[in-house]
Chain A
Amino acid sequence: MSMSTRLRPAAAVAAGAALALVVSACSSSGSKGGGATGSTAGANKASAPGVTATTVTIGATDPLTGPAAPGYSEISPAAQAYFNYANANGGVYGRKVTLKYLDDAYNPAQTLTLTKQLVLQDKVFAMVGALGTPTHTKVVDFLNSERVPDLFVASGCSCWDQPSKHPYTFGWQPDYIVEGKILGQYISKTYPGKKVAYFYQDDDFGKDGVTGLDKYISQSLVVSRQSYEPGNTDVTAQVSAIARAKADVVALFTIPQYTALFKLTSLKLGFNPTMVVSNVGSDPLTLSGLLEAFAKQGGATVNGNQLIEGVVSDAYLSPLGDTSNSWIALFKKVRDQYAPNLPFDGNVLYGMATAYTFLQVLKAAGQNPTRQSIVDAVEKGGLTGPGLVPYRYSKDSHAGFIGVQIGTIKSGALAVTGTPLTTDNGSGPITPYTTAQQPAPANGIPAG
């Protein structure tokens, strides 16, 4: 039978393998950085891999397909849209920024392969906004050993803040412990003595959030803690446990689908607690979309918006509904012109804000940026931008935003209240931050 391997097929196999690999090696594009000399824009040089006199190429890995794709797949396209806008308006030192983002489908092995492709083959200047905790934790060592700037990781894990171990990696969004502390303090102050329950995702996102909540919410008041596995949409058992425990307030560290599922099962049981939701799972546009069809069936004449009315959450960027805000106006303009297919929701805002931050540090890295100079630019700190709170960047800290501002969803949009609050992810206190947000630059590109 076919088990006696003769030379012919074996040779064919070897030839086939070689051919396939060589073909794929030849046909894959590699942006050869560092080759071109001579300048077209003043004294621009090809000063680093991924940087030429006229372009800067950066990379990212995101889940563009698969169960983790909803929402998150909008972030890098939104960032690219902002880069396109900036490129059309002069760029940074005349250079155009291109973001090459690849789909890892939230599979860490795929993340590693793609990251190696971006660094070894495409020779990108830096990784910007790579997404996911279980995925990105697997490439952090590689990126740091290759000395590739790993900027603004799209995840709230506190693990990006390790300057001694991972000097090239920086976070961006407030980490989940910080958020948990601030939400926890809000709950204990606004609903003293009331019964609280937790509903959280069974991974670092949820557990870090709960760690933060527990620092401010008295244990005796927590009547139920239920976790769910992302990927299994049957959370009836968990939500019904919370409902039957008759909690007054439920703190949710959930992604939008599970926030919606919580609401639906609560409706079924006639359970109507105050929901306090992490900013990860509270985007009003996304939630309305998920609950839209139920609104009509809700028994009364509710619309999707009414089902999320009164949900408490937090924000570290200007709320989307605040159209008079210069940043929202800028990003909406960019999205209308360069990415009309994207909804104008929290993910798109996130992507564009990250992109703006990258342009800031790219500019600060000098006319001929190197990988070291852009890392130094981030560590120098003092960046102001679309955030409501400052960054923590310094030589000793690679964490991003240091707090959030509490808000409530009213009429389908988040309305922030009070002042932004800042804290650390340890036992530090929560302190208000009273410096006003800087307005957006007139042309929408960082001034430097």
Chain B
Amino acid sequence: MTIATPRPLSAVLAERWNRSTLLRHLSIAVVGLAGYYLLSISLDAFHDLQLAQISYTAIAAAGLTVLSGLSGQISLGHGALMAVGAYSTALLLEHQHWKLGLVLLASTAITAVVGAVIGLAAARLRGPYLAGATLALAVGLPSLANYHELRNVLGGANGLLVAPAPPPLSLGETFPVERWQAWICGLCLVITLVLLANLASSRIGRDMRLVREDEDAAALAGVHVARTQVFTFAISAAAAGLAGGLFAFVNQLASPGAFPLSLSLALLAAAVLGGLGSLAGAIYGSIIVTLLPTWSADVAQSAHLSRSVYANVPLVAYGVVLIGVMILFPSGLQGGVRWAGRWLWVTIRRPLARKDSH
């Protein structure tokens, strides 16, 4: 006869934790928000600016990592989608005087629609052909700002200025605007990550993975392949659109020169360096692509090198890091973190296990 012993509370909680993804994600989000807040108030204004820039880069990289890692589609054009979000935000703020939250939501929606259109057009493209199409998009779409007929609206080569949005007076008169910007970006980042994480754990996420592995098997299993792919493209475009809107908000500009091809490639690098399919990886990758140029420029400055050497050190450093991390960390940095974490866990448990067995 088995008597059901009352389970310890810890086991009940652990099981509840493992089963409810939403609870898990929300708790991590709260911890993340708290950590972000503490970080932002301990940094000075300029580093808050960098924190904000890392945050919106991470939003775009997270969308891209979902697209490429989960759904297996390649996009070299997410910089152009950020441009769509940035210009939408700039135009809405200038002409409509809506609140920032509504503007960001609208920009996200607009970019999602653009992404859906692109996803539809590119639905039959695979591999390098999709890469080529998105590459042409990355170069072609921002150049729309130069189009003669649209110059009055889009501002041409000079682009648009976004009026600064000062922090609410309740925070004090000398509250640095950069910290306020970092808060907004951090909040959007956490929300985006929670949504994407939930999406990935949901049935749609499973569908995406199925399509990535084998389209025919997925179709046989009842997954609507094209719809899933277009949907994923639209979601990742929405993330890029939000990132673009925040870009316009933080940098107070939207201009074609701010969205070169290298931005799209940097987003891809951030996603891949961090680990394809990993949201945490998107954060690591964004930190690297945002901070490395500034840091290497500082190092080069203090070394008093000749002009052409000093100016190119950040480029060389960037290339070396990209190549090095890709070669050394096959699954990206997140893979490396997991490996390190697992190694630590095993090393700690080994002496404990030995003790138990005596």
Contact = CB atoms under 8 A, between A and B. Distances in A.
B205 A9 contact: no
Interface string A1-45: 111110111111110111011101101110000000000000000
Given A108-B255, A134-B257, A73 B146 contact: no
Given A9-B337, A22-B43, 15 more contacts: A1-B277, A2-B275, A2-B338, A3-B278, A3-B279, A9-B338, A13-B280, A13-B283, A14-B36, A100-B301, A107-B258, A108-B253, A113-B53, A133-B158, A138-B161
B197 A3 contact: yes
Contacts of A25: 43-44, 47
A18 B45 CA distance: 15
Contact of A21 (B50, B283, B338): B50
Interface of A: 1-5, 7-14, 16-18, 20-22, 24-25, 27-29, 64-65, 69, 73, 77, 100, 102-103, 106-109, 112-113, 116-117, 120-121, 133-135, 137-138, 141-142, 145, 202-204, 229, 341-342
B143 to A, nearest CB: 8
A203 B156 contact: yes
Contact of A141 (B32, B39, B164, B291): B164
Contact of A65 (B25, B201, B312): B312
A21 B311 contact: no
Nearest to B342: A8
Contact of A3 (B47, B54, B200, B295): B200
Interface in B206-234: 209
B354 interface: no
B87 interface: no
A64 B306 CA distance: 12
Contacts of A65: 311-312, 315
A121 B247 CA distance: 21
B154 interface: no
Contacts of B32: 10, 14
Contacts of B53: 113
16 contacts: A2-B278, A3-B70, A14-B36, A21-B47, A24-B291, A27-B298, A69-B311, A107-B258, A109-B251, A109-B258, A113-B50, A116-B49, A120-B49, A134-B159, A137-B161, A138-B159
A14 B30 CA distance: 12
Contacts of B294: 24, 28, 113, 117
Given A29-B298, A116-B178, A341-B307, A10 B278 contact: no
B205 A3 contact: yes
B159 A8 contact: no
A229 B146 contact: yes
B295 A24 contact: yes
B302 to A, nearest CB: 7
Contacts of B284: 13, 16
B257 A17 contact: no
Contacts of B70: 3
B28 interface: yes
Contacts of A77: 307
A109 B175 CA distance: 22
A312 to B, nearest CB: 27
A5 B53 CA distance: 23
Interface string B282-306: 0110010001001101100110001
A204 B311 CA distance: 27
Nearest to A145: B164
B40 to A, nearest CB: 10
Contacts of B247: 109
A9 B334 contact: yes
Contact of A107 (B31, B156, B260, B301): B260
Interface in B40-75: 42-47, 49-51, 53-54, 70
A7 B50 CA distance: 25
Nearest to A8: B341
Nearest to B332: A2
Contacts of B158: 133-134, 137, 203-204
B168 interface: no
B322 interface: no
